[in-house]
Amino acid sequence: MKKGQIYSGTVENIAFPNKGIVKCEDKKVIVKNVIPGQKISFVINKKHGDKCEGRLLETEEKSPLEVNEKACPHFGVCGGCLYQSLLYEQQLEIKKKQVKELIDAVCDDYDFEGIIGSPEIDAYRNKMEFSFGDEYKDGPLALGMHKRGSFYDIANVDECRIVDSDIRKILTATEDYFKKSGLSYYHKMKHEGYLRHLMVRKAKKTGEIMVDLVTSTQCSPDLNPWVDLLLSLEYDGRLVSILNTKNDSLADVVSDEGTDILFGQDYITEGLFDLEFKITPFSFFQTNTLGAELLYSKVREYIGEFNGNTVFDLYSGTGTIAQVLAPVANKVVGVEIVEEAVKSARINAEKNGINNCEFIAGDVLKVVGTLEDKPDLIVLDPPRDGIHPKAIGPIIDFGVDRIVYVSCKPTSLARDLEIFQARGYRVVKVCCVDMFPATANVETVVLLSKTS
């Protein structure tokens, strides 16, 4: 196979998260963003010895699996969802198979409990971040998601299926308003322009809505007309917060360099089980509220009967897991690097009448060795890249009998499980929880037990 050459083939399998395996000329080529059973054409764009990677050019024949007639109209253009064309049961089968293959590669003997589906398939997300840009070079202003495979082009997603009508309404009204405003979007290469992102949160249980316009500081327009427009719309929920976050960072991420309240307050309240959580713009909270209840129920199940003194909740976010576990522990210690999330966790615990949780702001890597308490059980819920290699050692050194590991990236999970097993732990149980229907992502919960 030659770089730059065009080939055709059928997708045999798909490895997490979106790596299609295509057999062609007795070789296996990786092509991203495809579905098993599709016949595709692709161009070889990377070659490392016998390993080849291709870029998808065209789907010549649909997969027999693609029978979902309710697929999002933006599917295939927007880069947000991979499995919109599949029935939900088939999505679950693919994710379950991917995770089991990854865990089987590093674990010999464990109980695989399959996958738990999301309570909602459509309109399940409680948070979305949209980007300003253009749909093509030098085109008119657009607001939406990045097009599949593009760092620059933006796809309009005003009929997005994974958010509800209130979020879509805010998206459309904001795009229409700023198209007429004459304000420029932020050009990532030139580092010029004003409009960067639109972040919208809507609490599933309370219906409270937050809108945050993320901009540079290169100009200071009057945003009151935009605020008045949003307040004039009719919602199923209730708009309680309109914010303007300043971000002059060169990176294409939503970063907080100061936030002004344009209307209402700087938080919304969400429910989880019988608890309430104050969510600020940049505090972490699971994007699927009803799915999170299933996820944390599985965590509680894996913990089982626990009469120990202290639980460590490492990578604790806004303290959701810590507060869910508080009733079965004398003390829960949460560690989280985002200070805003720690502040919210403390407020949430007080609001919920929980007084046995302590939340510490800091990097787990740096903090874990300085903690005065000694845990009887550890819960881990790290970011996508997993646990920092230098942090795993000190975590293992606590010598707790059980560890519950919650992962949103099974490839990172499999890597970390190898280390835990080499240091005296065995994998007892594994269960997937689908928090992200239509996408390639999945959560996995693992129970680890000390063997020596």
Alpha helices in 233-376 (DSSP H): 289-303, 320-325, 339-351, 364-367
Q: How far is CA 163 from CA 168, 200, 321, 382, in A?
A: 7, 10, 25, 25
Query: What value, to the nearest 5°, has the Cα angle with vertex 144 and ends 278 and 137?
Result: 145
| CA 265/CA 280 separation, integer angstroms | 9
| CA 89/CA 117 separation, integer angstroms | 9
| CA 442/CA 213 separation, integer angstroms | 29
Do 324 and 272 form a contact (C-beta atoms < 8 A)? yes
Q: Which residues does 23 contact at the CB level (< 8 Å), separation at least 6? A: 9, 10, 12, 29
CA nearest to 284, candidates 233, 326, 338: 338
| Residues paired with 75 in a beta bridge | 78
Q: Which residues does 138 contact at the CB level (< 8 Å), separation at least 6? A: none
What are the structure tokens assigned to 296, written together? 């944390």
| Residues paired with 32 in a beta bridge | 19
Which of the 8 DSSP states describes residue 174? Answer: H
72 is catalytic: no
| Residues paired with 336 in a beta bridge | 361
| Residues paired with 357 in a beta bridge | 332
Which member of 24, 408, 431, 432 is catalytic? 408
Do 115 and 92 form a contact (C-beta atoms < 8 A)? yes
What are the structure tokens assigned to 150, written together? 């593009």
| CA 364/CA 388 separation, integer angstroms | 9
CA 48 distance to own-chain centroid: 31
Query: What value, to the nearest 5°, has the Cα angle with vertex 45 and ends 42 and 51?
Result: 95
3-state helix, strand, coil in the chain (%, to 5): 25, 35, 40
Q: What is the DSSP string of 224-264?
A: HHHHHHHHHS--SSEEEEEEEEE---SSSS---S-EEEEEE
Q: How far is CA 266 from CA 17, 128, 233, 241, 338, in A?
A: 34, 17, 20, 6, 17
Positions marked catalytic:
408
